[in-house]
Each structure stands twice: as structure tokens, then as C-alpha cells.
Structure 1
Amino acid sequence: MVDVSQHELVPDHTVLDDAALEDVLQEYNIKKTDLPKIKRKDPALPDDAAIGDVVKITRDSRTTDEAVVYRLVVE
């Protein structure tokens, strides 16, 4: 079977550690549950992503070179 997460068109997905997560939540003045959601079954997620983790998704962008978004992993 093909590993979709390694495809060149899939943006980088990185699980945030607690310190990085706290920085993000403080920067945006939000709670973890306020973040947009991503399902655990999404094939682009790294294998170590668990329900309740926050994933940093880094995409290429024509206007800003790099766009970063955060998603909360849900069931």
C-alpha cells in the first residue's frame, strides 16, 4: 500500500510538544479546543499523532512562501 503522508503534494505535518503548544495557544490567546480539527484517520497525519495532540501543518504558499496552520487531532 502507498504511504500517502510521504507524497510530494502532502504538506509537512508535525506533532507539537507541550512547550511549542503553549507558545501557540498564548500567541493566539485561545484554548486547545478552539483550534480547527483533523480526524485521526486522516492519512496525512504522522503515525505518532494521537487523539488530543496538536499538529502543525506547513504548506508552501505563493504569497507568503510558507503558510502554517494548526489542527487538533480528534477521533
Structure 2
Amino acid sequence: MVDVSNHTLVPDHNLLEEGELEEVLEEYNIQKTDLPKIKRTDPALTKEAEVGDVVKIVRDSRTTDEAVVYRLVVE
């Protein structure tokens, strides 16, 4: 079976540490549950991701070089 998370077309998916998460939530003045969701079964997620974790996804962008989005891992 192919590990899709290592494919060149899949953007980086990194788990946020608690401190980083607090900074993001404070910066955007939101709750963790206000974030868009990503299913735990998404093949792009690492095996370490658990329900309730927040993932930082960094994509290439034509206009800003990088686009950063955050997703809450759900069941």
C-alpha cells in the first residue's frame, strides 16, 4: 500500500504543540471547535494524529508563496 502522506502533491501536515495552538487561537480569537475539521481517517494525516489534535497544513500558493491553514482532527 502507498503512503499518501509522503507524496509530493500532498502538502505538509504537522501536529501543533499546545503552546502553538494557544497562540493561533488567541491570534484569530476563536475556540478550537471553530476550526475547520479533518477526519482522522484522512490518508494525508500522520499516524500520530489523534481526535482533538490540531493540524497545521502548509500549501504552496501562487500569490503568497505559502498558504497556512489549521484543521481540527475529528472521528
TM-score (norm 1): 0.99
Partner of 1:68: 68
Q: Deviations over 1:12-50 (max 9, x none)?
A: 000001000000000000000000000000000011100
Where in structure 1 do 4 or more consecutive aligned residues deviate above 2 Å? none
Identity of aligned residues (%): 76
Task: Give the length in aligned residue pairs.
Answer: 75
Structure 2: any 5+ residue segments left out of the alignment?
Answer: none
Compute the RMSD of aligned alpha carbons.
0.3
Q: Indicate the residue corresponding to 2:42 in structure 1.
A: 42
Name the residue aligned to 1:3: 3
Residue type matched to 2:43 in 1?
P
Separation in structure 2 between the aligned mates of residue 26 and residue 46 of structure 1, nearest angstrom: 26
Where does structure 1 lack aligned partners over 5 or more consecutive residues? Answer: none
TM-score for the superposition, normalised by structure 2: 0.99
